[in-house]
């Protein structure tokens, strides 16, 4: 199966940095950088779901946008089926659009309010000349796939509930039969009861079409429900990654442990909650040594000075001086 060590990566990134310049003054000179993403290495196997979890502002969305070409990295390599995305010609990039899609957090603002569902879900198909039968027929088939009624295609985004709108977004994303979908907080704006339905739909589609997902969320319980593997991000870096069960039940990094502790367990009073001290430092002035040392309950002298290297070979990896 797919949930193994790097085998048939659909996505692979090396040394990827996405920084945003901070500009000041009338000449808008660059006075510094927001170091949103700094990933040494990450891969996603074909058919695999990699969950990416971390606090707000840690760089999850920026990573997803970089992968899909919406942000330009400062340095690094990003491979899709072994081809460096940054080296692709314009025509090849257009082809990539078919194979890689993105679903955003806010289902309403990502849908054009003036287009009906028919036009929304078939727009990409029409652009690439991929409509099978009539446009209506094709749109209705997509509605069936995402669990909406056929006549939904004649309605407009504001006429739907949040969960239904996210189904429309999903229909649009799968229309061109992609291999890889970046799901950026796809259920965070939805009620808990609806979240499970949308996650189930994503899992069904994954099985039907052997899709690979990058599933981004700040909510560890949502991420663990759908992911084969999980990567934990802090200040733009991956601090731990591994099979979902290992990362959740046998977490190594103090930051991962703190995230797990922050998930309330129903019916349990948590006595020994590790509470994260302080705020996440600014990504424009990241701490020296280990990025997490300013908030780490287990901080040691070396953590302030030296950046931790990856330890533990194989699939469970952690970047921490404790190991």
Q: Please name the residue ranges forming H helices in the chain.
A: 60-67, 90-99, 117-127, 135-145, 162-174, 192-209, 220-226, 244-249, 254-262, 301-305
Size of the site for ligand ATP (CB under 6 A): 13
Q: Which does 50 bind (CB under 5 to 8 A by kind): ligand ATP, Mg ion, none?
A: none
Residue 194, φ and ψ in degrees, nearest 5: -80, -30
C-alpha dihedral (9, 70, 120, 150), degrees to nearest 10: 30
What is the contact mask toward ligand ATP in residues 203 to 242, using x (rule: CB under 6 A)?
Answer: ---------------x------------------------
C-alpha torsion 315→316→320→321, nearest 10: -90
Does 293 interact with ligand ATP (rule: CB under 6 A)? no
CB of 8 to ligand ATP, least distance (A): 28
57: partner contacted, choices Mg ion, ligand ATP, none (Cβ within 5-8 A by kind): ligand ATP
Is 69 a binder of ligand ATP (CB under 6 A)?
no
| Minimal CB distance residue for Mg ion | 61
- Rounded to a whole number of angstroms, the minimum distance from the CB of residue 71 to ligand ATP is 7
Q: Is there binding between residue 61 and Mg ion (CB under 5 A)?
A: yes
- DSSP class per residue in 40-68: EEEEEETT-EEEEE--TTSSHHHHHHHHT
Using the minimum distance from each CB to Mg ion, give the nearer residue, 59 or 178.
Answer: 59
Is residue 110 a contact point for Mg ion (CB under 5 A)? no
Query: Using CA atoms, how far apart are residues 283 and 18, in angstroms rounded to an integer?
Result: 11
Q: Residues of 167-181 as b/e, b for ≥16 C-beta within 10 angstroms? A: bbbbbbbbbbebbbb
- What is the smallest separation between the CB atom of 42 and ligand ATP, expressed in angstroms? 15
Exactly one of 5, 26, 56, 113 binds ligand ATP (CB under 6 A); that residue is 56
Told to check if 66 binds ligand ATP by CB under 6 A, we report no
Residue whose CB is less far from ligand ATP, 33 or 81 = 33
Three-state DSSP state, 20: strand
- Kindly tell me which of 189 and 290 has the beta carbon lying closer to ligand ATP: 189
x/- mask, ligand ATP, residues 34-53, rule CB under 6 A, reads: x-x-----------------
212 binds Mg ion (CB under 5 A): no
Cα dihedral 116, 155, 103, 224 in deg (nearest 10): -170
Residue 244 touching ligand ATP (CB under 6 A): no
176, 96 Cβ separation under 8 angstroms = no
In the block, residue with structure tokens 């659009």: 97
Nearer residue to ligand ATP within complex by CB, 171 or 223:
223
Question: What is the sign of the dihedral through the CA atoms of 157, 159, 162 and 168?
Answer: negative
Size of the site for Mg ion (CB under 5 A): 1
Positions in the binding site for ligand ATP (CB under 6 A): 20, 34, 36, 54, 56-62, 218, 283
The residues that touch Mg ion, with contacts defined as CB under 5 A, are: 61
């Amino acid at each position: 199966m797919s949930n193994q060590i790097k085998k048939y990566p659909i996505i692979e990134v090396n040394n990827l940095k996405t920084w945003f310049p901070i500009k000041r003054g009338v000449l808008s000179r660059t006075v510094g950088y927001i170091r949103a993403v700094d990933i040494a290495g990450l891969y996603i196997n074909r058919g695999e779901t990699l969950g990416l979890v971390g606090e707000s502002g840690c760089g999850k969305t920026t990573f997803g946008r970089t992968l899909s070409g919406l942000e330009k990295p400062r340095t690094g390599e990003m491979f899709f089926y072994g081809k460096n995305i940054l080296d692709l010609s314009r025509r090849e990039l257009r082809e990539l659009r078919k194979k890689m899609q993105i679903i955003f957090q806010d289902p309403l603002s990502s849908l054009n309010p003036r287009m009906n569902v028919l036009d929304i879900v078939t727009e990409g198909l029409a652009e690439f000349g991929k409509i099978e039968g009539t446009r209506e027929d094709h749109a209705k088939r997509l509605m069936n796939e995402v669990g909406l009624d056929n006549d939904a295609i004649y309605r407009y985004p504001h006429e739907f509930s949040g969960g239904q709108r996210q189904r429309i977004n999903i229909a649009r994303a799968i229309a061109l039969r992609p291999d890889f979908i970046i799901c950026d907080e796809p259920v965070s704006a939805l009620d808990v009861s609806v979240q499970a339905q949308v996650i189930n739909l994503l899992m069904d589609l994954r099985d039907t079409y052997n899709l690979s997902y990058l599933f981004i969320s700040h909510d560890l319980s949502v991420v663990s429900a759908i992911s084969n593997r999980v990567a934990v991000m802090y200040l733009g870096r991956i601090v731990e990654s591994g099979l979902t069960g290992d990362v959740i039940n046998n977490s190594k990094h103090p930051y991962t442990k703190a995230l797990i502790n922050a998930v309330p367990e129903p019916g349990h009073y948590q006595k020994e909650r590790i509470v994260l001290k302080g705020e996440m430092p600014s990504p424009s002035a990241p701490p020296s040594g280990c990025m997490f040392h300013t908030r780490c309950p287990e901080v040691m002298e070396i953590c302030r000075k030296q950046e931790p290297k990856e330890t533990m070979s194989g699939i469970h990896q952690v970047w921490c001086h404790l190991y």
